[in-house]
Structure 1
Amino acid sequence: MKTPVISIIIPICNDDYPLAHYTGNAIGSIKQYTDLPYEIIIIDNGSTVELGGLKWDETVDQYVKNEENLGVAKAWNQGIKLAKGDYVAILNSDIQVFKHWAEDLIDALEHVDLAMATPMYAYPYGRAKKAQELRMEWIKKTPDQYLSTFNDFSCFMVRKEVFDKVGFFDENYGLGYGEDVDFRFKLEERGMVAKSTKRANIHHIGMATGHTLDNQGAKLGDLMKKNGEYTAKKWDLDKYGVPAFRRGNVAKQTIKGGMVVRTAKTGNKVYYIMEGKAGHVTDPETLQALGFDFGNVKLIPHDQFLEYDIVDPIKLKAKKPEPVKVDTDPVLGYRTNAKL
């Protein structure tokens, strides 16, 4: 085996057959569409289901089996410590990648410190073809146009040396999300930048892996609330979700008179609430136009959500991208040809 350029880490907790098949699809897409030397590292958080004799430890390069679900942050950290590549890519087990995904994330890392792929939530069919169509559209653009502030940690990449500078993921989050928001804050506090690239488009089923917590009897809403409170205390968040280190440098976020919400039962789907109506927001550009920050999503009870009238999906004109600047604000600014 060649020395890997990319270490691809996939945590799994397969407690039913659909999840096991999603894992197989993820691995298959990586093997089909990754041209650079790579290794796949599976961190198994207590799976109870296998696929007809298929053994993950015979399918991937490194395999670690935990006897119970230790949480995403713990699994990510286990994988990072085993990684041999210069780049570390962390993927959900319910995604599929397509042509040039790795090259496009590495390209983004020439300009930012953490690069995320863009899930095609708005395109339910023909995803491989659509991914290439979108790539051909955005590859003609400049980095200030194809890099966006949309945040989604279902597929992201960093140089491995980043962890030497900011540390690993906070394992205090355990189950119930929040470790991604925390890590972005750690990057920003040190003047680093995290953005997604519209050139790398992936398929993400969304909440397929999250349902493992429901299957295990955990109350996802309670876990998310607990982790949200931990984040608020750790980073001294104000009522707008802005951490203390950022205050004074950031205008308070407003969402055009409404709010963006989700519930434990709606999963990754987010809805814009205004004047008693709820519209599903289907694309990153609309979220950006609304001024939405993925870390500031408001979780509301599902019963409260059902009180709103559900209207057609919302699509707004995105904000015009800011021009590329050099030596801008270290937290919010865009940096060209940034090297770590």
Structure 2
Amino acid sequence: MMGLKTSIVILNYNTIDYIQSCVESIRAFTEEGHYEIIIVDNGSKDGSVEWLKEQSDLKCIFNEENVGFPKGCNQGMTIATGTEIMLLNSDVIVTPRWHEQMIKALYSSDDVGAVSCITNSCSNHQQIPVPYKTVDIDELLDFAEKHNHSNPALWTMHFTLVGFCYMFRRSIYDELGDLDERFTPGNYEDDDYSFRIMKAGNKLLLCRDTFIHHYGSGSFVKKRTPAEEREHIKKYNALLEKNFGYFQQKWHVRDNLYKSIGPSVVALNDYIKPNQRVLIIARSRLMYICFLLSQGKNLRVDYLTDNTLDYDLMHHHCNIILCDDLVDGVNKLNSKYSGILISNTISDYSNMARLRNIISKYGDGAVIEENSIAKRGIK
């Protein structure tokens, strides 16, 4: 890691216990001289500010009010001096070799723009089961010590990365700029940044060889009455709906299942053998490609779409076949496939019957129509 220094940007809002344990774990498990910690405090009233001011090795920004996640991160990135920038939640405990392994993945190829890791509590297919029930630090670290061994075979291309632990090259930030503050107070700004990174020609890697602990929802941990909890959930769901609406408007995403892994692609993976070739006919289902390529089968995956966004985001790294007319596109294929998946995202297509009729010439393997999870050719 000669010459590298990661600027770790952490937001804090009334999570003094979490921010203390997070900072202590970074100090314990990150090589000295190869990181700086930038804390943006969003108007905490729990003693966090006083504690942070006592720490001589932290760079701190103190806001008088809660400015939200995107703006707070932008403030921290503005004063970052590192060769990489990492957005890290305050409610995490980092673990042995976490940083050096993610650095190794980030610089494994010139086209890797950002990386993240796996954890015990997260969405986006970044969560794994853990053997500890409560947060026993010794058990947690014992698990991480056994798990965290660098293995490039476990670096898998991912479609988006969650902002709880999100590291990207400084050059990415210099090119793309800040998080979009229109997602304030937070949610979907990490998906948006992932899309921006991919559209610029870079890929995202999930480091499945690297585990850190995530408490989850660390800024919302105060105990609530049942009535307060219902009101909190109502407001949170309204925020998700509002921010997804903006994300959908910005990127023309069809629905909020663009990161999902449906039973159809799982069924296809179960059927397909190593080194075979498969075809996906879909819109806004790029996560299916990432899932199939992460299974260690060395599959060749073709993805036929009439969705320009799909092509823009991933054609640098996968065989994305863009066509104006899907039936015409299928007719022009010249490969044989051991499995074909027709996504329900094209179920409205007026020539679906024609599509069904012509795909048989591309092989006698499985044909899965996602609408009904109907399978032909699976034995």
TM-score range, shorter chain: 0.5 to 0.7
For residue 199 of structure 1, report the CA deviation from its aligned partner.
Answer: 2.3
Distance 2:46 2:246 in 1: 33
C-alpha RMSD of matched pairs (Å): 3.5
Alignment counterpart, residue 20 of structure 1, candidates 16, 35, 38: 16
In structure 2, distance between residues paired with 1:47 and 1:207: 16
Letter in 1 for 2:175: K
Q: Residue 10 of structure 1 corresponds to which residue in structure 2?
A: 10
Query: For 2:29, which of 30, 33, 58 is the aligned residue?
Result: 33
Find the aligned partners of 1:32 and 1:73 in 2 and give their Cα distance: 28
Check whether the contact 1:117–1:152 (CA below 8 A) recurs between aligned residues: no
Indicate how the Cα distance of structure 1 residues 319 and 32 shifts in structure 2: closer, same or farther if over 3 A, else same.
closer
Pick the aligned partner of 1:255 from 246, 254, 262.
Answer: 262
Change (3 A) 1:84 1:240: closer
After TM superposition, give the deviation of residue 240 of structure 1 in Å: 6.0
Cα 1:221–1:253, aligned 2, differ >3 Å: closer, same or farther? closer
Gaps of 5+ in 2: 122-128, 133-138, 266-284, 304-310, 318-379
2:113 is aligned to: 113
Matched-pair contact (CA < 8 Å) for 2:156–2:206: yes
Task: Provide closer, same or farther for how the CA distance between residues 199 and 320 of structure 1 changes in structure 2, counting only shifts above 3 A.
Answer: closer
Counterpart code for 2:252: D
For 1:89 and 1:148, the matched residues in 2 are separated by: 18
Matched, 1:134 2:147: yes
Q: Is the 8 A contact 1:6 1:86 kept in 2?
A: yes
* CA distance, structure 1, for counterparts of residue 87 and residue 313 of structure 2: 23
Per the alignment, do residues 227 and 124 of structure 1 end up closer, same or farther by CA in structure 2, a change over 3 Å counting? farther
Secondary structure of the equivalent of 1:85? Answer: coil
Query: Are 1:80 and 2:77 counterparts?
Result: yes
Residue 50 (1) aligns with residue 47 (2): yes
Contact 2:12 2:44 (8 Å CA) reproduced:
yes
Mapping for residues 235-250 of structure 1, pairs under 5 Å: 235-239=251-255
TM superposition shift of 1:146: 3.1
Q: For the Cα contact (< 8 Å) 1:114–1:194, is it kept in 2?
A: yes
Contact 1:5 1:36 in 2 (8 A): no
Counterpart for residue 97 of structure 1: 94
2:198 pairs with 1:198: no
Q: Which residue of 2 aligns with 1:231?
A: 247
- Structure 1 portions without partners, runs of 5+: 243-251, 259-290, 295-316, 336-340
1:230 Cα deviation (Å)? Answer: 0.6
User: Structure 1: which amino acid aligns with 2:19?
Assistant: T
Cα distance in 2 between the residues matched to 1:20 and 1:74: 20
Q: What aligned pairs does 1:298-313 form with structure 2 within 5 A after superposition?
A: none
Counterpart amino acid of residue 167 in structure 1: G
8 Å contact kept, 1:20–1:49: yes
Preserved contact between residue 154 and residue 209 of structure 2 (Cα < 8 Å): no
1:240 to 1:205, Cα distance in 2 relative to 1, 3 A: closer
* 2:21 partner letter: N
Aligned pair in 2 of structure 1 residues 69, 54: CA closer, same or farther (>3 Å)? Answer: closer
Give the Å deviation of 1:176. 3.8
Distance 1:119 1:210 in 2: 19
Partners in 2 of 1:34 and 1:123 — Cα distance? 23
In structure 1, what is the Cα distance between the partners aligned to 2:154 and 2:316?
11
CA distance in 2, matches of 1:133, 1:234: 42
**1:148-200 Cα shifts (integer Å, max 9, x gaps):** 52733211211112111122100111114110011011111112111210222
Query: Which one of 196, 199, 217 corresponds to residue 189 of structure 1?
Result: 199
Aligned identity (percent) is 27
Q: Is the 8 A contact 1:144 1:324 kept in 2?
A: no
- Which amino acid in structure 2 is aligned with residue 47 of structure 1? S
Tell me, yes or no, if the aligned pair for 1:144 and 1:323 is still in contact at 8 Å: no
The corresponding residue for 1:303 is none
SS of residue paired to 2:100: helix
Conserved? CA contact 2:162–2:191, under 8 Å:
no
State how far apart, in whole Å, the 1-side matches of 2:4 and 2:261 are.
44
Select between 145-154 and 30-39 the one with higher mean Cα deviation.
145-154
For 2:298 and 2:25, locate their aligned partners in 1 and report how far apart those are by CA, in whole Å.
35
> What's the TM-score once normalised by structure 2's chain length?
0.60
On the 8 A contact 2:157/2:293 being kept in 1, the answer is no
Note closer, same or farther for the CA distance 1:319–1:98 as it changes in structure 2 (3 Å cut): closer
- SS of the equivalent of 1:84 reads coil
1:66 maps to 2:41? no
* Matched positions, count: 260
Larger Rg: 2
> How far off its partner does 1:319 sit?
5.8
Q: Distance in 2 between matches of 1:220 and 1:108?
A: 34
Partners of 2:63 and 2:169 in 1: CA distance: 26
Q: Within 1, Cα distance between the matches of 2:148 and 2:297?
A: 21
The amino acid of 2:8's aligned partner reads I
